[in-house]
Amino acid sequence: MGPTGTAVVKWCVCWCAAAGVVGRVQLAILLGLLVPAFHGLAAAQSTLPGRSSVARSLPPERQRRLQVISQTISNEVPLVIAHRGASGYLPEHTTEATALAHALGADFIEQDVVLSQDGVAVVFHDVTLEGITDVADVFPGRGRNGRFYVFDFTLAELKQLNVSERYPSGNNLEANGRFPQKTGRFRLSTLEEHLQLIRGLNVSRGRDVGVYVEIKQPKLHREQELDPSKEVLRVLGHFDYRTAADRVFVQCFDEAEVLRLRTELECRLPLIQLLSDEPSGEDMARIAKVADGIGIRISAVIDGPSPKDPKRPLVSNVVKAAHQHAMLVHAWTLRTDSLPDYASNATTMIDWLVREAGVDGIFTDQPDVLVSWRQIARTQRRVDGPFKLLGNGASVSE
């Protein structure tokens, strides 16, 4: 019997004894009815509550997509998602960072996408350029109130810029030991160039590394009469990313845009709703009708060490709630050179995220560290696969 059942039985005994309304025989009958009921309830709760039944209650198209996604990533627990490429070692989103992420063994490589003035999908994190390029020197006077927007420049102009290292903000830059800032020769590249590179490396390295595309600020783009979602789907389709079985995820913070992707733009690809904070139960249920998973900030999954036992994490309810709605959870961002204060080292942080919180994937600047952790965990049989969402061998096709 679980703790819940034990507590209930104790409460019944106390209440009955205090009230004096039943004799020993009657009490035994009462307990005989209650104990199996609570035992069964506890057992049901301990076996991935509701995942399979929730999965079966999904619309047929969502069920089919869930099944093919789970097959596609069945042996990748947790999924290693190279955040902006191997951005811990090379300037983010450059083709160099993508090639290194591929070499380091990432399962998926992320591409954030903004559009140029002439409508080309460019792989870049911000909608403005001044943070990590020399745009102010190359195109003085082209800013709006000191901000240089990507969509104010043509692709030919963007190609003239040099991209530099970005460091995580609020950290000791020297101690991070990242690629030196404002050195080297790095260019902005298009989504097409990144996909070509990954496709080529998949051939030459005999791998099947996936792509994980984020549509940045769709509303702001549309104010410029640009439509990044349409362009991203066009480019992905050109590279044969068309179904849920393909090695691709599309992510966006804008919930209305995720819905638009699924409905108006008829996107069949796995969709990830990005979230900064833990959503309410109502929000989670609404998101689950459209998206196949959520991408959420690590601090919304783990809020430091447990006050009762500092060797254990204080885990929020978000992963459990998402799994109950048959959604994946991909957490961002693991930076081994910029861990939260409470994490003594990267291994502990990953242990907590995967084994304690149960996330399905992690965005990381250092994909090699997560790959190593997974290799060791597999030899020690410390991580259950495939895809925990379909635990207990249940199948959504049942």
Catalytic positions, please?
83, 125
**Binding of Ca ion at residue 214 (CB under 5 A)?**
yes
**Element (H or E) spanning 333, and its range?**
strand 328-334
CB nearer Ca ion, residue 64 or residue 247: 247
Least gap, CB of 276 to Ca ion (angstroms): 12
Give the interface size with Ca ion as a residue count (CB under 5 A): 2
Q: Is 227 in the site for Ca ion (CB under 5 A)?
A: no
Site for Ca ion in 83-102 (CB under 5 A): none
Residues 90, 96, 98, 99, CA torsion sign: negative
* CA nearest to 176, candidates 162, 164, 166: 166
Burial 5-36 (b: 16+ CB within 10 A, else e): beebbeebeeebeeeeeeeeeeeeeeeeeebe
Distance, in Å, from the CA atom of 67 to the CA atom of 58, rounded to the nearest integer, reads: 12
If one asks whether residue 126 binds Ca ion (CB under 5 A), the answer comes out as no
Closer of 92 and 246 to Ca ion (Cβ):
92
- 229: number of Cβ within 10 Å: 22
Q: Which of the stretches 106-114, 172-180, 366-374, 384-392 binds Ca ion when contact is defined by CB under 5 A?
A: 106-114
| Minimal distance, residue 125 CB to Ca ion, in Å | 6
> CA 242, CA 268: separation in Å to the nearest integer?
7
Query: Where are the alpha helices (H) located in the chain, listed in sequence order?
Result: 3-19, 24-46, 51-57, 60-72, 95-103, 135-138, 155-158, 173-176, 191-205, 218-223, 228-238, 255-262, 281-288, 318-324, 346-351, 367-379
Nearer to Ca ion among residue 112 and residue 365 (C-beta): 112
Q: Is 381 left (phi over 0), alpha (psi -120 to 50) or beta?
A: left
At residue 363, φ and ψ (nearest 5 deg) are -80, 130
Least Å distance between CB 111 and Ca ion? 8
Nearer to Ca ion, 139 or 212 (CB): 212
CB closer to Ca ion out of 214 and 360: 214
Q: How far is the CB of 112 from Ca ion (least distance, A)?
A: 4
Applying the rule CB under 5 A, the residues between 329 and 368 that interact with Ca ion are: none
Q: Decide whether 216 or 325 has the Cβ nearer to Ca ion.
A: 216
Task: Give the interface segment with Ca ion, choosing from 8-16, 153-161, 213-221, 255-263 (CB under 5 A).
Answer: 213-221
Q: How far is the CB of 110 from Ca ion (least distance, A)?
A: 6
Applying CB under 5 A, the span of 44-52, 88-96, 108-116, 348-356 interacting with Ca ion comes to 108-116
Determine the Cα–Cα distance for residues 302 and 279; give it in Å rounded to an integer. 14
Residue nearest to Ca ion (CB): 214
- Residue 130 beta carbon to Ca ion: minimum distance, rounded to whole angstroms: 19
Query: Rounded to whole angstroms, how far apart are CA atoms 131 and 147?
Result: 9
Compute the least distance from the CB of residue 13 to Ca ion, in Å.
55
Instruction: Provide the mask over 150-189, with x wherever binding to Ca ion is found by CB under 5 A and - wherever it is not.
Output: ----------------------------------------
- With CB under 5 A as the contact rule, the residue among 112, 246, 360, 368 that binds Ca ion is 112
Phi, psi of 135 (to 5 degrees): -60, -35
Nearer CB in complex with Ca ion: 76/112: 112
Q: Which stretch binds Ca ion (CB under 5 A): 74-82, 105-113, 135-143, 308-316?
A: 105-113
SS3 314: strand
Closest CA to 270 of 293, 238, 295: 293
Q: What's the one-letter identity of residue 123?
A: V
Per DSSP, the three-state class of 102 is helix
Of the candidate spans 183-191, 210-218, 236-244, 293-301, the one that interacts with Ca ion by CB under 5 A turns out to be: 210-218
Q: What residues line the site for Ca ion (CB under 5 A)?
A: 112, 214
